[in-house]
């Protein structure tokens, strides 16, 4: 931090990011030289009287030796100072300018050595050593070139600060390279995501390692203990919103994730055998199904996994769709005779298309097509003139996709005629929870009674105007420190400034922050921090920041003195409509891992206004972990 300026442009790397790459390169080159030297000494090299052979071999060893020395100096200089002290690393650019001609010489020598090794007619038992040497050398060169391509910024000139337009072009280029194919809807979605990402990072000069270091500082920072205040919901949750019902429905949201996730979380021969028994070789082509099936493979592995985990019969399945495109989510319709429910279970994020759907954070009016619908137009609560309901655009489009499929095949109408006393239940996890919520609102006028179980719902589903309505139909359950129910534009914006503030207050070099942070994530043994921080002199944040940060962090420094209304996170939050997690929120967490007991309590959406970083914030979101935790014994009901 800030971005490195070299060769007349800004790069997506900082001057303190060369410690680990340089040390890794040193180790690889030392191993290369040592192996070559040992083989050379063990063989009868005196038989190789050809001078060209020896010149090529020792030229490669020599250029590697000089490169090792250069990398060592680069690593030492790059390790100087804290993240916000780039002046201590001002010589990094000069070392890179020395390293560049060495790299060009290395390519030339390797090219000549390759030509000699594969065209020489000299009979020498070490010729195979030279061939192996040049192959390894080319592997090193390609690795360096790939690294340069990753940190290359094609539009950033060093003489001017990057504009919104140039940064937007960079993000669009990245997304297009990542997703080579795409239709008009895909291009529109990527454009929206690029604009959102550009606006989010427009006022800061952060590279990826800076963000990682800041996140690690936040993860290991002292956290306030969770509040024990009991929240009493304003609207008393319906009687069906119980932990027992959530436990039962959780199997459906885990089952729909397919055979890959099932095998990952059930690594045992018995579990795999259960699934394999339901697989039909070429079943999609040669066997007749009792239900319409879309998007599964030829052996219907995903459907077999669902039947295994959900513990239901094939005759219970009514409709299966594993088709997964932009705004098209996999879902399954089934009849649960035991509980007298018609269940629609919707899969969460499990593909790139789902991730793009998640990132389509722009809000959209939920009632945009209500007037055209003969049923929804009678629902006054959806179209109040002074209370427009805004929802997540991607989730709304996915909900309308599911609704169109159901209507086109007249699935629900047929089921309601066969099972008039059954309750319609929509359930989903993660992205699927948000889609299930909006689908419930779309269906509630046509089908009653209706319920929705939203497991680990995103924190940006519906605006506050529609929240009260969802509390009558939607039961949201989230586990522990799950990050997804806490994710919204406002909370991510706040996290951004928390990251910057943590970097500004840190006196440790970046490589130490990364080493210590990753160590403490992987091992339970604490890595004690440096003991000399007590002697550090307190320095004004603005005195340590590069000029590019003054505009944003100066306000943060003022906030420390009580000017809370100037907080950039608060100002950014007001620019967008705040979307919230839906329904009545039940928080479940593990109380005792050894005894496998859990606690639960009702919470308010305001308790999810801040992202809580911990070692379990991702694992607590995984569907099979949600199923595992909910099936533990209840110890305390707060």
Q: Which helix (H) or strand (E) holds 68?
A: helix 51-78
Comparing 245 with 573, which gets the higher pLDDT?
245
How many CB atoms neighbour CB 114 within 10 A? 18
Strands (E) in 308-436, as ranges, are 317-321, 331-336, 341-346, 363-365, 390-392, 423-429
Residues 357-385 as b/e (b if ≥16 CB within 10 A, e otherwise) read bbbbbbbbebbeebeeeeebeebeebbee
Q: What is the pLDDT of residue 361?
A: 78
Pairing of strands 390-392, 423-429: unpaired
Q: Which two tokens stand for residue 284?
A: 């999609």
Instruction: Supply the DSSP symbol for 229.
Output: P
Q: Which two tokens stand for residue 87?
A: 């002046």
pLDDT bin (cut points 50, 70, 90) of residue 552 is: very low
CATH class of 243-486: alpha beta
Residue ranges covered by each domain of the chain: 3-151, 167-202, 243-486
- Give the residue from 317, 315, 324, 307 showing the smallest Cα distance to 344: 317
**What is the torsional sign of CA 8, 13, 19, 25?**
negative
The greatest distance separating any two alpha carbons of the chain, rounded to the nearest whole angstrom, comes to 96
SS3 601: strand
Query: Would you say 526 and 575 are in contact if contact means Cβ atoms under 8 Å apart?
Result: no
Q: Which helix (H) or strand (E) holds 217?
A: helix 208-219
Q: What is the pLDDT of residues 161-183, one digit of tens each?
A: 555 566 666 666 666 666 555 66
Q: What percent of the chain has pLDDT over 90?
A: 23
Strands (E) in 151-302, as ranges, are 293-294
Distance of alpha carbon 333 from alpha carbon 345, whole angstroms: 7
Cα 364-485-453 angle, rounded to 5 deg: 85
Q: What is the pLDDT of residues 215-262, one digit of tens each?
A: 888 887 766 555 555 566 667 888 999 999 999 999 999 999 988 888
Strands (E) in 242-291, as ranges, are none
SS3 3: strand
| pLDDT higher than 50, residue 464 | yes
* Residue 352 Ramachandran class (φ > 0 left, ψ -120 to 50 alpha, else beta): alpha
Q: What is the pLDDT of residues 291-326, one digit of tens each?
A: 667 777 677 888 888 888 888 888 888 999 998 888
SS3 345: strand
Distance of alpha carbon 582 from alpha carbon 139, whole angstroms: 52
Q: Which two tokens stand for residue 404?
A: 């169109």
Q: What percent of the chain has pLDDT over 70?
A: 74
Q: Is residue 189 packed enough to be buried (19+ CB in 10 Å), middle (13-18) or exposed (0-12)?
A: buried
Q: How far is CA 449 from the centre of its chain?
A: 36
Q: What is the pLDDT of residue 33?
A: 82
Distance of alpha carbon 348 from alpha carbon 464, whole angstroms: 23
Tell me what the mean pLDDT of segment 618-627 comes to: 91
The pTM for the full model equals: 0.80
């Amino acid at each position: 931090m800030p971005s490195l300026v070299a060769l007349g442009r800004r790069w997506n790397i900082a001057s303190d990011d060369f410690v680990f790459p340089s040390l890794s390169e040193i180790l690889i080159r030392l191993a290369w030289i040592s192996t070559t030297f040992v083989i050379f000494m063990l063989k009868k090299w005196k038989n190789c009287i050809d001078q060209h052979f020896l010149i090529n071999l020792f030229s490669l060893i020599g250029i590697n030796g000089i490169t090792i020395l250069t990398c060592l100096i680069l690593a030492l200089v790059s390790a100087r100072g804290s993240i916000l002290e780039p002046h201590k690393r001002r010589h990094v650019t000069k070392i890179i300018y020395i390293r560049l001609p060495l790299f060009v010489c290395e390519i030339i020598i390797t090219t000549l050595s390759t030509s000699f090794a594969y065209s020489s007619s000299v009979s020498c038992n070490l010729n195979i050593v030279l061939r192996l040497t040049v192959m390894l050398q080319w592997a090193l060169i390609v690795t360096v070139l790939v690294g340069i391509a990753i940190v290359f910024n094609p539009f950033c000139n060093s003489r001017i600060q990057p504009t919104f337009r140039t940064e937007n072009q960079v993000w669009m280029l990245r997304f297009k390279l990542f997703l080579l194919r795409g239709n008009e809807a895909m291009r529109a979605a990527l454009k929206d995501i690029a604009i959102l990402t550009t606006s989010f990072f427009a006022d800061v000069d952060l590279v990826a390692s800076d963000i990682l270091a800041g996140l690690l500082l936040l993860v290991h920072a002292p956290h306030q203990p969770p509040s024990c205040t009991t929240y009493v919901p304003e609207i008393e949750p319906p009687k069906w919103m119980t932990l027992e019902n959530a436990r039962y429905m959780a199997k459906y949201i885990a089952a729909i994730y397919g055979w890959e996730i099932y095998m990952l979380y059930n690594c045992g021969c018995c579990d795999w055998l259960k699934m394999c028994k339901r697989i039909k070789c070429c079943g999609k082509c040669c066997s007749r199904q009792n239900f319409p099936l879309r998007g599964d493979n030829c052996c219907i592995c995903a459907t077999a996994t669902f039947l295994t985990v959900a513990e239901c019969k094939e005759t219970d399945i009514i409709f299966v769709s594993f088709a997964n495109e932009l705004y098209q989510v996999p879902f399954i319709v089934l009849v649960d005779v035991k509980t007298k429910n018609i269940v629609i279970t919707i899969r969460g994020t499990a593909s790139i298309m789902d991730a793009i759907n998640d990132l389509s954070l722009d809000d959209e009016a939920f009632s945009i097509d209500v007037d055209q619908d003969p049923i929804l137009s009678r629902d006054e609560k959806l179209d109040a003139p002074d209370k427009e309901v805004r929802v997540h655009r991607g989730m709304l489009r996915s909900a309308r996709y599911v609704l169109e499929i159901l209507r086109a095949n007249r699935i629900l109408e047929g089921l309601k005629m066969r099972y008039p006393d059954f309750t319609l239940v929509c359930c989903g996890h993660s992205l699927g929870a948000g889609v299930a919520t909006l689908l419930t609102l779309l269906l509630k006028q046509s089908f009653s009674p209706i319920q929705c179980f939203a497991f680990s719902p995103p924190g940006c589903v519906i605006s506050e105007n529609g929240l009260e309505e969802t509390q009558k139909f939607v039961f949201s359950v989230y586990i522990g420190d799950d990050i997804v129910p806490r994710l919204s534009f406002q909370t991510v914006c706040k996290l951004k400034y928390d990251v910057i503030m943590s970097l500004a207050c840190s006196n440790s070099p970046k490589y130490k922050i990364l080493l210590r942070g990753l160590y403490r994530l992987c091992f339970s043994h604490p890595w004690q921090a440096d003991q000399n921080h007590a002697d550090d002199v307190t320095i004004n944040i603005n005195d340590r920041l590069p000029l590019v940060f003054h505009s944003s962090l100066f306000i943060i420094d003022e906030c420390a003195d009580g000017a809370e209304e100037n907080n950039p996170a608060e100002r950014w939050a007001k620019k967008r409509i705040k979307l919230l997690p839906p329904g009545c929120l039940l928080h479940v967490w593990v109380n005792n891992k050894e005894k496998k007991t859990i606690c639960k309590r009702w919470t308010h959406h305001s308790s999810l206004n801040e992202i809580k970083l911990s070692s379990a914030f991702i694992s607590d979101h995984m569907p099979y972990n949600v199923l595992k935790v909910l099936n533990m014994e209840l110890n305390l009901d707060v």
